[in-house]
Structure 1
Amino acid sequence: MRSKIIPLSLITAVTVLLGLAWNFSERPLLLAADEFLVGDLLPDAPLLAARGELGVGVRTIDLVHKDQADILNYKDGETPRYDRPLKVEVWYPAEIPSGKEEIEIYREVLGNRGDTLRPLIPFEFKGRSLRDATILSPEKPYPLVILSHGYTGSRLLFTYLAENLASKGYVVASIDHTESTFRDANRFTSTLLNRSLDQLFVLDEMDRLSRTGSGSFLAGRVDASNTGLVGYSMGGYGALNTTGAGFSPKAVAWFKSISGGSDALADRATGSEVYRQSQDERIRAVVAFAPWGMTVGVWDSVGLQGLTRPTLFVAGSEDDISGYENGIKAIYDGAVNADRYLLTYMNARHNVAPNAPPQAALQNGLHLDEYLRYADSVWDQRRINNINQHFVTAFLGLHLQGQDNEKYLDVPISANENPWEGFKPRTAVGLELRHDRPE
């Protein structure tokens, strides 16, 4: 009997079908209908980018910082007072009931400052958390992480990082900085004055809500004395001032000139007794993404010497907003009293912290800045998100959870020359990581 020759194309097709059958039976296959959500892993994601084992819940809380200086209405030497509202999104380890999908619909806007710059366009995007889920009762209270956005920005700008950290045993509080968000941005003086004050107030409030008898879902669940502060751009500016980098005389004089004569920033300057007393030891570690201010003289060498907490700086080598050599790297070099790291995305610009671009920002006809708010023109933002998840997990795990993570942080400076711990073969490229200890 003559043997039949089976065409190679048919063999290939059968092999593919069998492979698909194995995928369906043994593990979920990512289909076209499935969504890649912000914070999900790319195939080349480093090891610690993966979510933890805990479910994630999310709630929104409204806070009011009473009797604050209304710098926007400063006039003729008088500063009115007002009750300053702050909306905070809180992610936390949670019980996910059987049959419940761990999905949240976040509501955000494109645009900026409404009619004064670009019209506000509402949109929605999905995340992997469950709204109002029951918080898990821990063996000991969870460390706290506070997130602080830039100017302009939103408490929802880093959902990829907030959800990831909550799944690893942190309570994460992300602030909407009033008068500095996409929806309500106002003059820059509010951001300059209020950023560090907002961060300290939210720390106090999270501490209050965590106490037994507070009536909050956080009661007994949070250890605010073990806090990490994460800031991006103006949030980084605030985080550094919050944790020891007093403002320079030049910064105080500049603020006075643009505010119409107010000396209010002097209370946050090096040498101020008010500033000295505001230093809060509950903050144990700092992550500063692209912190703004050095290129305009916000800090001098004396002010930067006040930074003493472990700090992870994250920057793009071509940052055109905060600057690199004379900006973020200059801050890193000047923080001589801190155990500090500098992670650099080579050839990236300023956007080394936000979520990857949502679908709404990909539409034709929009202002380019709606896309560039989230994207880098060299790096895949999803890749940046995964790398940030990895290094922030390593850094905060080391300093807030006592994990043995040094091997992920003490790596050769250039990823192009030597492999980095936790990175898959051929994937640790385009990055630099410096580490300097106190002098």
Structure 2
Amino acid sequence: MNTRSILVVFTLLLITVRQLIAQSPGDTLINGDLLPNAPELAARGSYKVGVRTIKLVHPAQVDVLHGNAGKHPLYDRPLTVELWYPARVPGDKQPTVTYESTLGRANDPKRPLVPFTFQGRAARDAQPDPSGGAYPLVIVSHGYPGSRLLLTYLTENLASKGYVVAAIDHTESTYGDLAAFPSTLLNRALDDKFVLDEMARLAGKTSKSFLSGLLNADNTALIGYSMGGYGVLNAAGAGYSPQALKLFGQMSGGSTALEVRTQASPAYKASLDPRIKAVVAFAPWGMERGVWDADGLAGLRLPTLLVAGSKDDVSGYEKGVKAIYDGAVNADRHMLTYINARHNVAPNPPPSASMRPGVSSDEYMHYAEPAWNERRINNINQHFVTAFLGIHLKGMDNKKYLDLPEGDTAEGWPGFKPRMTVGLEMRHDKP
């Protein structure tokens, strides 16, 4: 190599080193940050974001995992909730926070628990920003197993747009405390309703909570993924079927505790909450197992956004999510489909910890999509959830982003850059 070539190589190396040195932590791509091809409404809003963790206890709940002959004791059910909200944060840059989560599954030696951390764009325990009045409330429910931190790309994004977002750690359904399935079948909708009640209490004028006056629980949306979708659809009006009760009894030793969430139950109909104005269900589980029938789906009357992969091999598509959409004949409903995606159309991208040597590949595949870029999915979800909630919780004129032509989507969707809607389908039907 001659002297000139050596000089050129040295110069290029020097430029690269300087660029690396110049990078700040803010240059790192964090969950929810925009890709260059992100749609319009994926961008963050004008508010800085605060985040806090609170502990709640739901007293005297049926302990379906203990007891016999269909009879069960009661227990005080603990719930951890992560809250994101518009905040007062000094400085021009977006704040950052370190979240602590876990890979693996409790009580599964083949998938041991692996703690990991990841970064978000929020300020821990920041003072709330009351300048927007009482913000709409969004309650978020994770999959089985999952955690309250599974969708931080979306929870932070919504808080930046003037929502208070409450994401639940569903006890006995998280990575760290995973227990038998009947607890998840019974408690999802009950947890959602209890958290809504608690948010209303903590937001009251006489409350000493930082939430006092910050949110309007009378203007609430529910968002759920997988088993979270199973729960939020039920909380929104889709009562479970006799088949669901039979399935639950088979799994729980004959318990009939789920009967109060079935469409035929007077107690279920009395429990439906007018404070809930809209529901978003990502890949909701259950339709392929007969969890809903025509009567139950007809009970869903709230505006509904369903999101699914056309190759979903967990919740199903044709006989799963699409069948829910087709059967919810009394709801103003949209369905966004990711063509060739499987089940993971909602969570954060795979954490770096899932790629460590020795960690089961199942931990990576718990988050990953085989045919789609997860960050791209996240941006698209941010766009459409923003449009949908803007209409139903804020009265915004966002219909052009949702009322889209069916069929070939290669061009022409408002808010999308040219060529960036390939692989997407949107359906819309009214009652």
Tell me the TM-score normalised to structure 1 length: 0.92
Deviations 1:309-343 (A, max 9, x none): 00000000000000000000000000000000000
Residue 319 of structure 2 corresponds to residue 326 of structure 1? yes
Structure 2 gaps of 5+ residues are 1-7
Structure 1 gaps of 5+ residues are 1-9, 24-28
Q: Paired residue for 1:7?
A: none
Residue identity in the other structure for 1:250: Q
For residue 94 of structure 1, give the secondary structure of its aligned residue in structure 2.
Answer: strand
Q: Indicate conservation of the 8 Å contact 2:241/2:263, yes or no.
A: yes
Deviations 1:376-428 (A, max 9, x none): 01100000000000000000001101111001001112453432110011111
Deviation at 1:33, TM superposition (A): 9.1
- Hey, what's the Cα distance between the residues in 1 that align with 2:273 and 2:408? 35
Q: How do 1:168-207 residues align onto structure 2 when only pairs under 5 Å count?
A: 168-207=161-200
Residue identity in the other structure for 1:349: R
Q: How do 1:29-68 residues align onto structure 2 when only pairs under 5 Å count?
A: 34-68=27-61
Q: How do 1:349-360 residues align onto structure 2 when only pairs under 5 Å count?
A: 349-360=342-353
- Hey, what's the Cα distance between the residues in 1 that align with 2:29 and 2:356? 18
Deviation at 1:374, TM superposition (A): 1.1
Q: How do 1:39-438 residues align onto structure 2 when only pairs under 5 Å count?
A: 39-98=32-91, 102-414=95-407, 416-438=409-431
Q: Indicate conservation of the 8 Å contact 1:177/1:198, yes or no.
A: yes
For residue 138 of structure 1, give the secondary structure of its aligned residue in structure 2.
Answer: helix
Task: Decide whether aligned partners of structure 1 residues 114 and 168 sit closer, same or farther in structure 2, where only a CA change above 3 A counts.
Answer: same
Q: Indicate conservation of the 8 Å contact 2:245/2:259, yes or no.
A: yes
Deviation at 1:139, TM superposition (A): 4.1
Residue identity in the other structure for 1:306: G
For residue 81 of structure 2, give the secondary structure of its aligned residue in structure 1.
Answer: strand
- Hey, what's the Cα distance between the residues in 2 that align with 1:342 and 1:162? 21
For residue 422 of structure 2, give the secondary structure of its aligned residue in structure 1.
Answer: coil
For residue 434 of structure 1, give the secondary structure of its aligned residue in structure 2.
Answer: strand
- Hey, what's the Cα distance between the residues in 1 that align with 2:158 and 2:254? 42
Residue identity in the other structure for 1:228: A
Deviation at 1:362, TM superposition (A): 1.9
Residue identity in the other structure for 2:83: V
What is the root-mean-square deviation of aligned Cα atoms in Å? 2.4
- Hey, what's the Cα distance between the residues in 2 that align with 1:396 and 1:130? 24
Deviation at 1:34, TM superposition (A): 3.3
Residue identity in the other structure for 1:290: A
How many residues matched?
422
Q: Indicate conservation of the 8 Å contact 1:415/1:430, yes or no.
A: no
Deviation at 1:30, TM superposition (A): 6.6
- Hey, what's the Cα distance between the residues in 2 that align with 1:402 and 1:363? 46
Q: Indicate conservation of the 8 Å contact 1:228/1:286, yes or no.
A: yes
Task: Decide whether aligned partners of structure 1 residues 253 and 95 sit closer, same or farther in structure 2, where only a CA change above 3 A counts.
Answer: same
For residue 246 of structure 2, give the secondary structure of its aligned residue in structure 1.
Answer: helix
Q: Indicate conservation of the 8 Å contact 2:337/2:426, yes or no.
A: yes
More moved, 106-115 vs 226-235: 106-115
Deviation at 1:365, TM superposition (A): 2.9
Deviations 1:199-244 (A, max 9, x none): 0000000010000111000001100000010000000000111111
Q: Indicate conservation of the 8 Å contact 1:196/1:238, yes or no.
A: yes
Deviations 1:40-80 (A, max 9, x none): 00000000000001000000000000000000003124210
